[in-house]
Structure 1
């Protein structure tokens, strides 16, 4: 009989099936990894989901390691002060489809790392200044499908990293466009104000906004009063390919009469009423400013400067230049708003935007200057490419003519070039050509047989007009053994005349 001892239960546990062991383990809610997870929520390593749980208040115990919290589709009416202190790593908060009407002054304190905030489909009536001023890292803000009638001018003043704001499907009648002027110089790319109750648009303020905001400024489906200024502005945006007009071209409406509430027309699609509105005068492009490398550069705005306290420039790399200077004095901003660059470099090229700062977070555009930094042309470059090419062609042609017609003719014995099939030509480039036909200077009516003997004069003592004259055998009756070449008749093959084999005399 086996002895019983402390090791017996362990041996018995090894014999239990694995499923039975799982049943004997403590519940997962008591595990150390799941401590702090609310009973109505689902927790993972860094995600916390409490969606669709009919919650009327945010659970008190929250796991501190969560980076994403989902409270959507509940019955939350408010968010208590500093409730996010328990989630120091939170980056995304989903609180849409609740009953939140307003936010307490400190609802989002202790959430400096929050980048994504969804408060859509709630009952918010306004966007106050204190709502989001503590969210310094916020990038996306979803406020669509609420009951918002008013947005404070400084509601987004401290959100320098804000990229996207969605305010569609609310009850906005006006919007402080000037408040987002500075945001566009940093990161703002989307501002959705579509499907509201905007009755008028400050066209001049919208034209002063940076291009990146105008590209993402959605104004369609609003009862804006029809005007030529509005029509011309949107047509210009369409020509420049702005997504805000191109993607929703047919949804842009305007109200023909204020007395008739439903007198809305799709004025960009049916533009017969605006035929007299001129859209030929495009917005003035940035002023060109060419400068050589190494030269000093001074940028000024030719417009009348407003009585502003300070000025600022935005570099082509979207960097603010608002200090009087730097350590090496390479870039200096004067008190009158002028910007001086001590020595221009190629990376200084681009569009500079001059701003007047009326307040720390409120700026108005003064001008844009397009700087082009280039290297000087070499001094020796006096001919254009076309003239140089023409001169090269003329010189080449002269060289060919010299080669063909001005090469001196030498003795025929040194030239072994074959004779052509055509009639004899004048001595030109290489050698004289033997032919059965005598020169034209001899008797014109003289007949020569096919077997006529031709003699070389050694040396040629007689020339005619600078040309070598061939003497016939009959012209030298006293010569006993002249050097005679027997030319083949026409019936024989003429190829031997052109061969390199020496001719037997």
Structure 2
């Protein structure tokens, strides 16, 4: 039988009125809702609410008696050498941040993070990792930020980043990588939303230019501080990124090669003197179309075409392909289809920077220019046209209803106060009614009522005293009348039947 709170409170020590420390700790853990077995803080750690810090304690073995209710666990600045699969005996269902930086970790076993499935931030920087094995981060499906900079990583095995579906920021700078980790983007189970990749200060000599051109530009890739070889492909990429104002290149421009026209001479007289302007090419379906690379007059060693679907290279030779790049950099579209319409970009080493009004883009239209577009563009324009037409129609209907309500349902109250001045007509609006004698006799004029917007004049505060004329109707023209059946513009209101 479990003791009740009153029984626990009733227990005292031999001195009569002081609680036992174990009883006090038990009561505190019960009040906080934590089991007694996981609520104790190790004596070599500092626990503050849900934050546990065991940093700088010279620990060589991971503590196994850590409270599992922590949301942040800091084990940095210790002497840890490995992260085994059984480093903890209980799952950390609340742990969001795990800091293991500034240790000597050289090995992480597979499934070592199965006890921390809800990690969002993992810091393993400044350790001694050399290889990232397959499934080393398995189970971390909610991880968004992974810090691995400052290690000695020279190889990343396939599947090392599997299960990292939510990863957005990956820091791999300051390692020994000599190959670009393309598996991050195309391996199954890898990061699908990676928007930040830091590969600076590694040992990369070449980068896959064609693959980098196919990646979305909103994903930032930092390559500064690598011994990159400045060839025509890299020069073309650097010029293209400069034209796109790619943030990693703009910020660290001085740490990239191929700068300040110091690149190789890819060809003679490559650049045209004419400004590079965006052009439009039109072709009928089923026909062939040749699109020259803007700004190139002679062949160059490396030309890339970024099409709406893929990236083509002049060095690849595929006779079965329908879109090819000839050796002189011209794009050949064979048997053009409607879905070939779109914007094409020619990426080549021109040895120059683009002006503010220059563009290496061309617009290809298959079919009639007024109707040909990609399927997505057609759907989007159709939806926009429908929304615009519907909004215009709704606005017109509402406007007509409001005008009719105002003109035909506004009460005419001037005749009710005919003998008592103009108070019955309101402050700023004067309702001009038909002749009262005709109203009494049941005869209403066909032209209805008329409304004029006039500025009111001050009335005498004495109710029984003589009233001054509120508005001189002799100076009012029909330009201020919203509805008047037969009067012409500029005619004054002098008819006695229009006066109140």
Q: TM-score if structure 1 supplies the norm length?
A: 0.48
Length-normalised TM-score, structure 2: 0.48
